[in-house]
Structure formats: structure tokens, C-alpha cells
Amino acid sequence: MAHPAILDWPEQPSDDLPLALWDADAIASATGGTAHGSFQVSGVEIDSRDVGEGDLFVALKGAAMDGHRFVAGAFERGAAGVLVSKPVDGPHVLVDDTQAALEALGAAARARADMQVVGVTGSVGKTSTKEALFAALDRASRGAAHASVKSYNNHTGVPLSLARTPARSHYGVYEMGMNHAGEIAALTTQVRPHVALVTAIAPAHIENLGSEENIARAKAEIFEGLEPGGIAIVPADSPHAELLAGAAQAVGASVTTFGLESAADIKLLESVTTRDGGSLLTVQVRDRRLCFTIGNPGRHWVSNALAVIAACDALGADLGAAGLALAELQGLPGRGERHVLPVEGGEALLIDESYNANPTSMRSALALLGAVDADRRIAVLGAMGELGDHSDRFHAELLEPILSAQVDQAILVGPAMRPLAERLGTGEVSDLGKMPRFTHCDDASAAQAALDEIGLANRDAVLVKGSNSVGLAALVADLVDAPADGD
């Protein structure tokens, strides 16, 4: 016999929503297409290699590739149906334009879910903050939060992330990125956030935008899509905080600030490093104080955590649940994930920051390496992209954080690293310390050979950091998958 409390469990409006993510009729209605066959799907994919059992495969047409070529492969991998612009064998919805249909499907998903939505952007920390915020909201809602995966933050990734949103979601967290002005403005009108968060402004993509101020203006486009009564969350410590706040107020949004500034709404009062490298934080949240631990090491994670608390506060979410989620969060692949590597006589530490790099994140990663208790510190640093005429200066300026981190051996990867190699090559002793030994390589495979020549020993700490285009993720994969001595 059922317990009375179970029988009296309160009904929710979302209880009447379908359990399947989409069915053929709903896809056709959302996209203006025609359903051929009856099917239900549990996921949406645009890469046939990622298709799993029960997914919808969307056959996008690109400049160099037509997804229709992979429809048969998608069915072989278990696709329940496909979204196409020409008839195919198998269950499908036929539309005129699959990119437009994906955007329409995302818009329908956004409209049907009675959820609070957060949009996240910034020059650094946006993916890490998005993941941390998702963890906090997922815990607060007992599993009813949804977020974009990986760095799906462009004109394809945003509508794909929206289209994957379950109808029963209570929270949605969507990342938005850009390379040029105007791109975030187009994305935020799809996401229509209730809360829009800018993590930080740094000289990423400065090649295309010319100055940090222009980068700030481009990031501020996220406020243009805010729902009426929306809240903008701005980093108080940024020199562009006033610009960001002004852009938010211009569209009628209220502004919440976070940071170390005494006037910040969400303000750090105290930070103590924990034994495992994380931080114990005391934070002023308007008229309350919150004490919690963050598991991830590094000063940049303190800022990320403040941003997460600011967003949760704006949403009225459970701050206690947010603190617990931040304590449990681990490093992300390519963004601070740590691996213990077995080596002769013991273990070495690998810090994987291989996904991306700009001058600000490079300094943060090197500071993280410098804080590690190690007998030898090795930095494998890939070139930073999209810096334009500023490239030589920004690369050369990495000397100071390298010396501050007391790096023993540096492996520099890519032609853009030449100005740094020239500064290291002077062999001079500065106020910060002696120049480390270094190797300058053309590519990731040469960097792997250089690291093999150095050899890893017990109590080594290795940082791998660079723009994704350099390909250092392959070096990380080789290190992690390498068999232990004696295997």
C-alpha cells in the first residue's frame, strides 16, 4: 500500500508534459516541416559520429560538408529520426533549410519550458562558470537544470543547446561566445535570458575587435536579449565595469556586481587556501554572509565562484546547494583537469589547460603551476591566437608570470612564441629569478618529443596550456593514456 505522503505529493504543471524530448509531429510543428514516419527522440546531434540510440540527427549543410552524406551512418548508430532538407530513407522531418529548422526547434524548446534562463559570456572563464552554475542549479532543483555542453556557444551550438532542453527544465544555462561584434546580439535574442552574466573582459579576439573596450562592448550585447525585468551581472573589478553596467541599464535591466571591490553586491570578504589547493571563502551576499569551499584551485576560480553565487542569488536559488556544488566540482577537460601520472619512483602531476589560451588565462594557469608543491615545474605553452598586431607583445610579456611561477623547464610551441623564446634566450637573471631552460618547437608533435627527451620524474608538475588550434590536447591524451612503467 502506498504511503499517504506519496499519494499527496503535489502535482506540478510540468507533470503533463511529455517525457520524450521531441516526437516527429512536434518537430514538424516547430520547424514548419513535414513528418515522414512516427518517431520519438531523446537527444539532438549535428555530428553523426556523436549520434546515440534514440537521437535526432540534424543534417546541416556547411561550406565544405553536407550532413546529408552521413544520414545512413546516423541511422546505423541508432538515430530514431533525422531532420533533412531532401527526402531520405527512414523516419524523417523534411524542411527547406536545416540550419533555420534547428534555430526554430531551439526557439520552440525555449518557449515551451517554464524555466528561468541564464546567459553566460566573457573573455575568460565562461565555460567553467557555466559548468559550475549548472552544477549549482542542478543540485538546487534536484536534477531539473539544463546547460549547453562543452563550448557550444556559436550560431550552431546555441540553437543546438536550446533544442536539447527538456520541457520539464526549471533552469537553463547557455553559453554565448563571439569572434566579432554583433554575434552575441544574434545569440542572446534566441536565448532570451532572465539573467545575463559577464565573467570578465580580457584581450581575447583583440585581433578582430581592436581594443579591450570594443571587446567589452561586444560582450555587453548579451544584455540586449534580456527578458523584461532581467538582471545583468557584471564583474566589479573590471576596468570596463561601468561600460558593462551602462549597457545593461540602457535596456532597462537592473545590475548586480560581484568581485573584490568594497561596493560589489556579491563581495569576497576572506579567502583561505585549503590543504588540497581549493579555497574556503567568506562572501557577503547583500545583507547576508555565506561561507563555503570551492574544490578547484586558483584565484580565477574564486572569481568564478562569486559569479555563480551572484547568478543564484539573482534567480532566488538555494545558495546552500550552490556552495555544496562548488565544493564538489572538479576540473574540466582542457580547463584545469588534473591527472596523476605514474612515473619511475612515484608520481607526476599533469594540469590540463589545453583547450584555449589568452594573455589573462595564461597568467592564471602559470600562477596555478607556481602554487603546486613540486620538485620541478614544466610548462608546455602553446601560442595564443587572434591577438593580431598585439601578438608579439602579449607573448613576450609571458616571461614575468613564467619567472614568478618558478618554472624550471619551458616548452614553447608555435611560431608566435618566438618573442618569448628570444627573451628567455638572453639567459639573464631578473629580480624574479633565473631564466628557465627552454625549447622552442614548431608544433605539438615536436613538443611531445621535447617532453619525452626531458622525461618525467617523481614530484614533477607539468602544465599544458595553449590555444586549441595548437593541438596540445593530443599531447595530454598521450600522457594520460601512456602505460605505467612495468605494464
State the pLDDT at residue 181. 93
Confirm if 69 and 47 have CB atoms less than 8 A apart: no
State the pLDDT at residue 330. 85
Residue 271 pairs in a beta bridge with 281
**Rounded CA gap, 268 and 255, in Å?**
18
**Rounded CA gap, 414 and 396, in Å?**
13
Grid cell at residue 423: 627573451
**Rounded CA gap, 467 and 179, in Å?**
14
214: exposed, middle or buried (Cβ count in 10 Å: 0-12, 13-18, 19+): middle
Cα distances (Å, whole numbers) of residue 80 to 20, 72, 156, 429 = 12, 12, 21, 64
At residue 204, the 3 state secondary structure works out as coil
**Rounded CA gap, 330 and 388, in Å?**
34
Q: Which amino acid is residue 257, in one-letter code?
A: T
Residue 444 reports pLDDT greater than 50: yes
Spans of all domains in the chain: 21-98, 113-328, 337-481
Question: 113-328 has which fold?
Answer: UDP-N-acetylmuramoyl-L-alanine:D-glutamate ligase (3.40.1190)
Confirm if 440 and 412 have CB atoms less than 8 A apart: yes
Segment 39-63 shows an average pLDDT of 96
418: exposed, middle or buried (Cβ count in 10 Å: 0-12, 13-18, 19+): middle
- φ, ψ of residue 459 to 5 degrees: the values are 70, 25
* Bigger pLDDT: 261 vs 441: 441
Segment 390-402 shows an average pLDDT of 95
**Rounded CA gap, 268 and 110, in Å?**
34
**Rounded CA gap, 374 and 278, in Å?**
17
Query: What is the tens place of the pLDDT at every residue in 213-262?
Result: 999 999 999 999 999 999 999 999 999 999 999 999 999 999 999 998 78
Count CB neighbours of 341 within 10 A: 16
Any known ligand binding at 38? no
Among 348, 341, 368, smallest CA distance to 465 is for 368
Residue 79 reports pLDDT greater than 70: yes
Segment 10-17 shows an average pLDDT of 58
Residue 9 reports pLDDT greater than 60: no
> Any idea what DSSP says for residue 170?
S
Give me the architecture of the 21-98 domain, per CATH. Answer: 3-Layer(aba) Sandwich (3.40)
Reported as a pLDDT band with limits 50, 70 and 90, residue 353 is very high
State the pLDDT at residue 486. 41
Segment 445-456 shows an average pLDDT of 95
User: Max Cα separation, the chain?
Assistant: 81
**Rounded CA gap, 305 and 290, in Å?**
12
Give me the architecture of the 337-481 domain, per CATH. Answer: Alpha-Beta Complex (3.90)
Confirm if 362 and 124 have CB atoms less than 8 A apart: no
**Rounded CA gap, 250 and 199, in Å?**
20
Cα-Cα end-to-end distance for the chain: 56
Residue 36 pairs in a beta bridge with 92
Segment 186-198 shows an average pLDDT of 98
Any known ligand binding at 127? yes
Residue 189 reports pLDDT greater than 70: yes
Any known ligand binding at 277? no
β strands within 308-449, DSSP E: 337-343, 346-353, 376-382, 409-413, 429-430, 433-434, 437-441
State the pLDDT at residue 470. 94
State the pLDDT at residue 4. 58
Segment 58-83 shows an average pLDDT of 95
Any known ligand binding at 124? yes
Residue 409 pairs in a beta bridge with 378, 437
Residue 280 pairs in a beta bridge with 272, 293
State the pLDDT at residue 485. 46
State the pLDDT at residue 271. 94
**Rounded CA gap, 230 and 316, in Å?**
13
% of the chain at pLDDT higher than 70: 94
State the pLDDT at residue 431. 61
Query: What is the tens place of the pLDDT at every residue in 86-131?
Result: 999 999 999 999 999 999 999 999 999 999 999 999 999 999 999 9
State the pLDDT at residue 487. 40
State the pLDDT at residue 459. 97
State the pLDDT at residue 432. 59
**Rounded CA gap, 486 and 422, in Å?**
40
Mean pLDDT of the chain: 92
Any known ligand binding at 469? no
